[in-house]
A and B are shown apart, each in its own frame.
Chain A
């Protein structure tokens, strides 16, 4: 029992409720949300060290024994992701201070931002599969509002599709939970794991496992199910795209991680093999989309899909190395995708267009923005001193160890195309003759959050010696579900 585990949920929730009261006073909203974001990061940092040194921390809500009550479980994977979420959210928040118009700020942008963080942190920390559904909904309903807030035509058009897809996937989630409850009679993840291990996951349970893969694949944009993502992520303002690209799909991936390493791990030749194949197709198709577009936002959006493919492949390979690679890549990707979306937002703000064919020579007037984008691009691709390298290296090593040579080949080709797609922005947008019609002065306020995220990304790369032990231990404990089960059920 550790009461601190509830704080990553409680701090943004209470902040959001307080912010509703001050909806007309933007200055107070900014101060309160900034202050609470700083507290959230420090609490999460403290929790991370506690989990690392003392083992998995749990909180039985209401004092009920685990299979009967709801339990919050902070294991290393969950707490690493919660910490990254809070770090990303602080950068997005400060970007929002400088980029949003007053109408959006007065119409409850900051409260719904806080509720979104509540939903995401809750989904990472919960140990109960129906509670996961509820936190998904908290996150999704906030995201519905953030995507449509402002009400421009393109936002309305895309949010209709986004909401429809998510309603259908939520119905499928409830259906999957109903089947799982009928077979096992429990909803607690650790208890599910024990009971499924007892019956050795028959065909019916494998079908349910694939059902869950479909549900989480819809949330996380896996190959046949990513059709909704490019349109809806490109519609809202840059800061909202950054939160979505960094956090929402990652919650789907985390759920795949949790269910397929803790609960459904008995027949990897069916479920995990499927994940390897789908991951390979996802990364290839994502990058093909990125290469084909001339809209800067669309290029980054398609790169989100590529990253999903990498991580799902890592989960499917089922070894400690590839798990560590997938976790490292997940942490890296959350930071760098947020940074790229914010940089693109700043680029669109100074160039006045998102079409690459209409802008060029931006670097002459905005050298800091240009070189920051260049660094972020190299980090995304995985050039050695930066953060993307270690995750990708471990994923490739894990892929070779488990004998998936063709997927490793696809992954390397994909990385090359990612480099091409992102350098296209640099060469056409930042270099070349100065033809851009509208070049406003450098918005310094927009650059600080990007610099902060880039510093984190460089830190993840150069400081791998300090980060890697955490990631390795998270991967090792995921490989052995008994650690999780013991922490939840025997205390």
Chain B
């Protein structure tokens, strides 16, 4: 199971990297979203995917799955949500003000503005 998940994570990272290297803003943001999906799945996978009950004491099971990575992922998800929404709004504003979504045209130069 871990091998399969590692492959999936690898594919997510590949596509995310590919999208980040493209020119268009929106593709870059989709790329960052895919990268964070990859990272969260990796956290889940690396903690081990052994069988066990959901981490609820009411289940009275003999074995439970590891609760720590789930808490870590939950934290990482909300953080990346916040950052992604900010990034989307920024992309919208930058498109309005600068009139382009092509990263090649957003090169910095020494003379400001």
Contacts and interface: CB of A to CB of B under 8 A. Distances in A.
A148 B111 CA distance: 19
A153 B75 contact: no
B46 A178 contact: yes
A7 interface: no
Interface in B59-111: 68-69, 72, 75-76, 79-80, 82-83, 86-87, 90-91, 93-94, 97-98, 106, 108, 110-111
B91 A160 contact: yes
Interface in A210-245: 231
Interface residues of B, number: 38
Interface stretch (A48-56, A168-176, A389-397): A168-176
B110 A160 contact: no
A425 interface: no
A145 B108 CA distance: 20
A179 B76 CA distance: 15
Contact of A152 (B25, B46, B91, B113): B113
A64 interface: no
B98 to A, nearest CB: 6
A163 B90 contact: yes
Contacts of B38: 171, 175
The residue in A145, A154, A179 that gathers the most chain B C-beta atoms within 10 A of its C-beta is A154
Given A154-B113, A157-B106, A354-B112, A178 B42 contact: yes
Contacts of A294: 110
B94 A156 contact: yes
A298 B43 contact: no
Interface string A129-172: 01001100100010011001001111011111101100110110
Contact of B40 (A152, A154, A174): A174
Contact of A164 (B20, B82, B111): B20
B54 interface: no
Contacts of B106: 157, 160-161
A473 interface: no
Given A160-B25, A168-B32, A168-B35, 8 more contacts: A152-B113, A163-B90, A167-B35, A171-B32, A174-B36, A174-B39, A178-B69, A294-B110
Closest 4 CB pairs of A and B: A182-B46, A174-B39, A178-B46, A178-B43
18 contacts: A133-B76, A145-B86, A151-B97, A160-B90, A164-B32, A167-B32, A167-B36, A171-B36, A171-B39, A174-B43, A177-B43, A177-B72, A178-B45, A178-B69, A181-B72, A293-B110, A354-B112, A355-B111
